[in-house]
Structure 1
């Protein structure tokens, strides 16, 4: 039952080329930076990533992206990641953009063994009708587009069929965890980490604080250990590695705020 691994490198060393990964994080909150860096050093390539966003330039999944290790991304938000946009528009990266709530439910459904579900999100758009550019060619044309999805009506309202997501591995970051893999997430890091952890066949968790079994209140556990196969305890320096996406400070009186 002791799922603690001696290092992040040991926990990810069997992830092969071409593996699919569900990765937690919401913006820069709750990103498993230590596991991502270990995966970068492991040199796995052609990865298929499912994550709300693909990091930022030089941070999070952006490290793997800039190194050309990611072949496909299923996500909701490109954001300020210029390298993500460049590779997508330049035909170097396949991208499936999914409504954020739908992505969350697809991960949860996969983790619960639900193969598909119906949702009204995306009905009447290319999400349901097909035609969203998944990959561009080098001339800016669409090389691969999304297929149409099944749409059905109940009680006079249309719903589109979405598939659950199951990945080979999942990488998540928790505020607390025990040796059995039970995890607690903090604030916004709870948005996608538990769902990503559910979707992975093998889930690897980096934890800021490791406690002994029984040290977590059962009512506070957000992801039960049954979903988690490997745990890595972070050092204080690693636990403190939390980026700020946009720093906002108070300016002089009457000058408002300054954003960097």
Structure 2
């Protein structure tokens, strides 16, 4: 598989940038301003909603239109005619909507969202640089795409393109959540074991998780996982107090001895 994919990418200049989601739009506008006016550009997004949003934001300044699966056939035909004629030189599309399109003179492909596989990535960039012309592809890569880092490196190296060091770091640690994991391990006392949002007291517990241990304030107050909720906390407090009293009664009278486990329970 890799041989055929690399043949597609060898005639392209491939630029991959690691960006946080909030940085994407600003960088996108910088790239668009750097192109010659009227250049045909395809921007790939992962969702229909993002296609529509980007097209609205870019239309006034650059001339953009969106195409995706929710568009009627007449709408699709109109958008494609506008794109081919250069009246709307920027086409914002999903993979499904762009499948089978045969449009010449596409100067740049921008992967605003990375696809769900490196093969789709190569197919995307193959839409530019046809008929012997060189192509230019910009790709925005985020932490959420880290599982594709190792295969992306193979494509870039096989095409003699620069591999950003951030991509290599993602591949070497087997994921893009290194900063998350470091923060999680320092803020929590255990593992969360589920999926959900960030807790109010850091990454220790996830309030929408499915199982696992959760020690953060958000997990105990909001529930949602099987962490220490209010009922469990009450049982823990009650059990700890009983243990404290039993240990105290067994200690020598007047010795001042306070069991260590009881003291930690009362903290």
Which TM-score tier does this pair reach, normalised by the shorter chain?
A: under 0.3
Report the TM-score when normalising by structure 1: 0.28
Name whichever structure is richer in strand by fraction.
Answer: 1
Higher relative contact order (CA 8 A, sep 6+): 1
More helix by share: 2
Computing the radius of gyration from Cα coordinates, the structure with the larger value is 2
